[in-house]
Amino acid sequence: MQNQAATVVVLGTGGTIAGRSANASDNVGYTAGQVGVTQLLQAVPALAGAPLESEQVAQLDSKDMTHAVWRDLAARCAHHLARAEVSGVVVTHGTDTLEETAWFLQRVLAPAKPLVMTAAMRPATALQADGPQNLLDAVAVARHAGARGVVAVLDGRVHGARDVRKVHPYRIDAFDSGDAGAIAAIEEGRLRCFRPWPEGAALGLERVPADGSAWPVVEIVTSHAGARGAAVQALCDSGAHGLVVACTGNGTVHRELEAALVTAQERGVRVLRSTRTRAGRVIGVAGDALPSAEDLTPEKARVELMLSLLSRP
């Protein structure tokens, strides 16, 4: 059920959905973050006359997302979600780091209203741009009476912030939710729900420094054949506060890399193990030298570790 009278606020941050290409048949050689969020809305005839507001928070390619933009975006989301007349907020975003931004916003805000992220795999100038339909679907979710939490809406599916992940570099159906599955499908503007919406306690925006340079330094290293510990030592020497290791299989780590990570942990650097596979979780066993990030992808485990470090007294 939708509240058609309630206001939806659409916040723009750039990305492919706002990209332009000199050739309409070129879906890869474009420049992201060129079209303003107001223009994106105007390109969706079905949204004409709808109670919408728009605001440009940033205009960038999401591969270049920064902690400072995350903080600014979270603040603007919190501001609009607190307004009684607003049913939900939509954020247009690039696909490359959408899952990281989604998890950051869910952990910091855990909103009781829907905070809907959407994006596109093709630029706004494409012959068959996917952005307009994704944006229309995102607004429908933001108006849905039962929706809550941070979700991502792409290709007719609603994914929860914890589960959403990009699994293909080119196709329109580039996102899924791993083992958990999508929360809902959007069918002609109506939602068919499969499982509960995201919940959880908000860490609070006040814990997050406005200055991105004041955030703890957390990096990701990958375990692979022939992995060495030198990279871990170099990162620790450069001031890393935390490390996430993208492991093979069920959290296994090359012995040389693991030895370096254990040494780093003994010296006070926080370490988490994730899996470099795109589904499943790391199932811990007794005697594990390094803690598990459970079902969080390496990128989300990094966000989680940063927020954990920020929450330390």
Question: What are the DSSP E strand ranges found in 124-212?
Answer: 149-154, 157-160, 165-166, 175-176, 184-187, 190-193
Token pair for 66: 């920064």
Give the end-to-end CA distance of the chain in Å, rounded to a whole number: 43
Q: Which residue has the tokens 């620790």?
A: 236
Hey, which residues are catalytic here?
A: 16
Structure token pair of residue 201: 């306690």
CA distance 214 to 35: 31
Question: Is the dihedral angle over the CA atoms 111, 116, 119, 125 positive or is it negative?
Answer: negative
Number of neighbouring beta carbons within 10 Å of residue 192? 10
Tokens, residue 211: 């200055």
With the C-alpha atoms ordered 305, 306, 311, 313, is the resulting torsion angle positive or negative?
positive
Distances in Å between the alpha carbon of 188 and those of 14, 17, 89, 157? Answer: 26, 21, 20, 12
